Structures are given as structure tokens and as C-alpha cells.
Structure 1
């Protein structure tokens, strides 16, 4: 598997990239090649105070390359210029990445809605499954909040086609997963003939067959709020969810469950988008 690992060379990025447990988890799920990507702002030009930024970023990537190569990964580095989420997606599409990884300190919901962030923009537009690796906020020497990336999974489903696609990610995540909680949030629009507990039970049987201890939860209310409440209760290392692939305009106006989770979840989030289109 090929992973694009986006970094701004901050202390938060360094905490994620140099964490041995995280690297072991990636290796277990099949990642063997890593494309390290950093983006130089397009408004930085020669003659400006930041003119040496590109050189410094190449040096920083070389340091991270050494760490990852020592862990057994094949590594390529990319220093690109432009808007971060667009260029990260561009590299992911070019190298046919199976996963994109980005660190996030988890801004407040208001900051994410008003300003946006690379993680949130990637949640709207990612071309590959997106792992948002959560790092401590407001500290000088941050650490990962939950370093065992896929050990305890929270899977949220509305039984849609893309939710099933997200569940299919367990075909490789299972190699690093020991426990899973499956949650469905019922709404008035749900088909009355659908037995959520039965359907969750069928999914749980699949995971139990892979020796993953599994629990199921059926909740009522606002999907994002209920999923976040379950996350707080069971403290998974990562929440797994599919994106419906709504239009960008609708997402900007209304937001989406997946974006809310990326912005507000305490732990990591693994977001599986719709299939790529030509």
C-alpha cells in the first residue's frame, strides 16, 4: 500500500511521524511505501523573508525520510507549492495513494467552520481514505492523543453504500485491530422494516470471525452528536466513517457528519470517500 503523509514540519507533525507505535500500525495494515509531502505557500517568492523556506522544508523531509526508512518503509519526498489540501490531493492522485495521512491538533468547531483547516478541507475533497492523526493542542512539545492507530475502532454506519465501503476497510485494518464498536444512529427517515441491531449484528459477526471483540450500539438523535457521545464513552483509538460525497457547496453551507467528526472527535478519524471518478 502507498500512503501520502502530509507534514508542515511542525512539532505536531514530528510527534506523529517519529512515533514508533504509529509506524508499526501502518506497517501492520500493509503500508510499505510513504510519500512525504510538504507544501510551500504559493505567496512565498524569492526576495521575501521566507525565500529559504523551500530549502528548509527539503532538509526537514530528509530528516523524516531517515526515520521512516529506518522503520522499513520505502520513502519518496515531495516539496510542492500552492494550496495545501489541493496539492496533497494532487500528489495522492498522481501516485495512486491508498491512504492520505495528516496530523491535526483539532481546532474548535467554530474555528473550523469559519476559517477551515487542511484536515477539514481534505475531509471535503480527499481522493483516498484519509487518516486524521490527532495531536495534543496548546503545548510546546505535543504528543499523539491515541497512538495505537487502529487497535480500538469505532465504526459509524447509516447502512448506505459508502458506509459499507468504509466497513470494507476492515479487510486490511483488521491486522491491527483488537476491538471494535459498531454504531448506528436512527432517524425518523429510517426504513421501518430495517432492524438496525440485526444489521449491526451481521457486521459484528464478520469482525468476530477475524478475532476482533465487537460491541454494537443503536442510538437516536443527531448523528454527529450521538457518534461523538459513543466515542467519549468507549475511547476508541480511531473512528471509521464513510463520506457521502455531497456537493462542495452543500457541505460548506450545512457541514456533514464526517466533517464534524474530523473537527470535533477526540481521537483519530479514518474517512473513506466515494470511489474516484475519471
Structure 2
């Protein structure tokens, strides 16, 4: 209820970003969701003088994407910069006056005063054209393509956020990554194949995200499943890398302030090497990652 009120924003386009900046800077803002998009926006608006509150179903912000080790660091970082976080709660309704948002009510009974709201969850790719053309859509909402980024219809390719592609890096698993660096690489692969080559997209996906100037996040993988996290460096010092392992193989790596660690991580992810018996070395600063 109340979704029609003015002052409720989604972040999907540049125009949305401009509207949020104009409407929410320096005001009381409630963020719905604990994703990295919600966290990015909350951090940016806080730097613009906004009083930000986040409402999320997760116990810790970003835990769905990054697991407990890294997520706890980012969660505490947001709080340290003045952002209020209400975990394990969710939206019940919006309330307003004169057609404008004034309050967010949660299922836990919290009543949060709000001059603006940003919805940081539930964004899906626009595949209307693909659907109307009869192309297959995948479980992650994207257009199903093979490792060459070609659909089941010869000559029809998909790249970027809408592409749900067969990743050779992930053992043929279909993945969909929402980041411009991946889209840029997809464009190269598609161009080669349109020219008659048989290029397989075998790059290890990479993305980055900034929480204002508080933390620069870099991530390769991504790790969809993992059974162990090994931390190199110190979150307390703001410089660390989390290595995500699954059944003895490196599935992904996230870093803050230790970009050099990602080169070795890319290599090990791409090779699919079994590093289970050397996993402890990832966390030992004295160890040489290039020798793992």
C-alpha cells in the first residue's frame, strides 16, 4: 500500500539517479533492501548530507552476495558512517500526506519518518523484445545463450545484463552478471562471432562497487556456492581479501585494498585447479599466491 506516493524511487536508469539526487539529497531517506545497490546509494546520499535508514530482510547487509566475513565488515562500515540499519525486517506499507511519502511502516512495527524512499531490490532485466521474438529465457531472468553468447536462433546474440550465458569458467553453469566490465567483454565476443569466428567467452567475470570513498570493492568469480571462506589481510585495517572455496576449488575472491590478490585469483578460478590442500596458504600473508 502507498506505492503510488511521490518520493518513492527505483534505480534503473540515469534519469532515476538524477531524480534521486534531486529529491533525496540532504533529507531523511529510507532504503528498502540490503543489496550492494542499496548500500551504494545509502553511502552516496549520506555523503550528500542525507539521514539514511536501511530496512532489509537479511541479518547483515550484503550477506547474500558476499558471505559473513566481508558482509560484516561492510555492515559495520555503513553503521560507522551514521546509517541506521534495521535487519531481519521488511516493508509493510508506505504512508503519506498530500500525495507525498512521509512514513515507512515495517512488518516489525517500526514507523520510520521519510522524505524519500529508494527501493534497492527486485530489479530485473528488460527482455520484452526477446520474449516477443520467442527467445528462451532462463531462471535468472536473462536471455539464454551458449558460451559464444548466441541464442538457439542462429545469428541472434545477447550481451551484457540481459545475457544468461553458459560460463565455461563455471563448468557450463548459466550465469548472468550485472556489470559494465562484463558487458564490455561480451561485446567483444559477440563481435568476433558475428564476423564468423567461433570465439568462446571464457573471461573470469569481474566487477567493482564503491561505498562512497569509504571502501572500494573488487570481486572476481562470482562465487555462487562455497563451503569455506579464507581471509587474507585484516578487515580491521580496511585491507583484506576473502577467498571463496567450493569443494577444494577457488570459486571467487573479493578484495578491499588488496587489488594485487585478484590476479592470482583469476588464474586459479580459470584453471579450475584443486587447491583444497593449500587453502590455508590463501590467508597467510607470507605465502606467495602465484605459487599456490
Structure number with higher helix proportion: 1
* Structure number with higher strand proportion: 2
The higher radius of gyration belongs to 2
| Same topology, TM > 0.5 | no
Instruction: With the length of structure 1 as denominator, give the TM-score of the two structures.
Output: 0.29
TM-score normalized by the length of structure 2: 0.28
